[in-house]
Amino acid sequence: MISENPRVRFAPSPTGYLHVGGLRTALYNYLFAKRNNGAFILRIEDTDRTRLVEGAVKNLITTLKWAGLDFDEGPGKDGGFGPYVQSERLALYKRYADELVQQKKAYYCFCTSDRIKQLRDEQQKTGLQSKYDKHCLHLTENEIRDTLKNNEPYVIRLNVQPNELINIEDIIRGEVTFNSNVVDDQILLKSDGYPTYHLANVVDDHLMKITHVIRGEEWLSSTPKHILLYNYFGWEIPKFAHLPLLLNPDKSKLSKRQGDVAVEDYRAKGYLKDALVNFVAMLGWSAGDDREFYYLDELCSSFSLERVNKSGAVFNIEKLQAMNFAHLQKKTDGELLNLLKEEVAVSSFNDHLLSDEKLLLIIQSMKERINFVKEIILNASYFFIAPQTYDQDAVKKRWTAESAGLLQKFAETIRGVENPSKEDFENALHQVAEIAGVKNGAIIHPLRLAVSGVSGGPGLYDIIFILGKEETLGRINIALEKIII
């Protein structure tokens, strides 16, 4: 039974770009919130100061908004539970850490990094789990007081009791049980006064009234520490849902070594946000049928955590490309026009302005031939600028001794036609071919080379109609001068 008006959060660290796994976590939180009339909260977990990247928070918010995942509360959008950046909440963490120390549920640790390293080395040599040995738990009150007076650096550790069973009710994985003997006396507050993830996470989730914690599988092993903290504080434990890993095709964990992992990379390559969001949603979830094509609002009405799989999901780039093609085909010409104009604006053809009317004709001729809008520019630059070179293999294969004469005849025929339509161009070519006693292809192939420089692409009559009579004539003349066999 889902609580009324659930509250969920996406809590990334601002350490760089948004990983596609992070996008999926954000998406599932967003979908769960929208499906159940809840709130989707963005919280920035920036307590690991060594990994911060300048501008990462702004980039993160921009990327989430690009994907359509607008948060209900977060930086710049206070819902009464802020601040939503952990570095602005340090006094809270110190207060709660001190409370645990007073209750003997946490303790001061003054061990140096050298001692900790030596301890770990010894444990590794003997095959023991790497854990803190509770050395400082046994310091006397006087020893603790004197050491603090000397301003010696310290951390605060969780005091884990041995031989306790810690049960986790996971929405995706069912009941998962840990023995407290495998749980380390985790550091809660570091010597620099910043909390670790574990303390800050639990304190913030409680104070922000988070009802469901939806996060990656890699955090499952940390959950016993969080359960202990909830119990030590006497707080209500939220419901947990740990999402399956994203995998490379070889079933290894998805990593940059085998391809792009940043959402920004896919955006820069021209993937549509609808397609990327649709694809990521299907990485570990289905509605229980064969349907795969969704828009975001349809995902919101269909999503449930109970339908998320336990096993890892393979990130198949070919499937993403197919998804992008499917979404592109569903776009209206008007939508594609706006996208194409954006691509032209950042291309080398930004000063070759074409009318919306011509751009729409280009879109209609190319739509079924592309996976990405930018491919219109990459694969059909001839619509924007006359070819500078000609495909030599095509010239050898398609340009014959009679090609120049046939193109001259075609040019003469259309020169006298006012505002020729696509049918006028086609009729003129058929007429020249019939008079010359050749097949239409004897003119079509060299004419395509002359106006585009290549042998493939959309229909020839589409190309020359879009270019227009004068541009077509000009390109024929240039080709006749440059192509010599």
Give catalytic residues, as residue numbers. 256
Angle, helix 403-415 to helix 469-482, in steps of 10 degrees: 160
Which letter does DSSP use for residue 195 in this model? Answer: B
Strands 106-109 and 313-314: unpaired
Rounded to whole angstroms, the Cα distance separating 446 from 101 reads 85
Of the candidates 133, 29, 118, 126, the residue with the CA atom closest to the CA atom of residue 71:
29
Angle, helix 460-467 to helix 422-436, in steps of 10 degrees: 120
Rounded to whole angstroms, the Cα distance separating 252 from 435 reads 65
| Structure-token pair, residue 243 | 């999402």
φ/ψ of 391, rounded to 5, equals: -55, 110
Strands 39-42 and 7-10: parallel
Rounded to whole angstroms, the Cα distance separating 272 from 291 reads 19
Query: How many CA within 13 A on the CB side of residue 100?
Result: 27
Rounded to whole angstroms, the Cα distance separating 376 from 373 reads 6
Rounded to whole angstroms, the Cα distance separating 450 from 477 reads 9
Rounded to whole angstroms, the Cα distance separating 441 from 443 reads 5
Rounded to whole angstroms, the Cα distance separating 63 from 20 reads 11
Which letter does DSSP use for residue 222 in this model? Answer: G
| Structure-token pair, residue 45 | 């977990």
Long-range contacts from 249-255, C-beta under 8 angstroms, 24+ separation: 249/314, 249/315, 249/316, 251/312, 251/314, 254/20, 254/21, 254/315
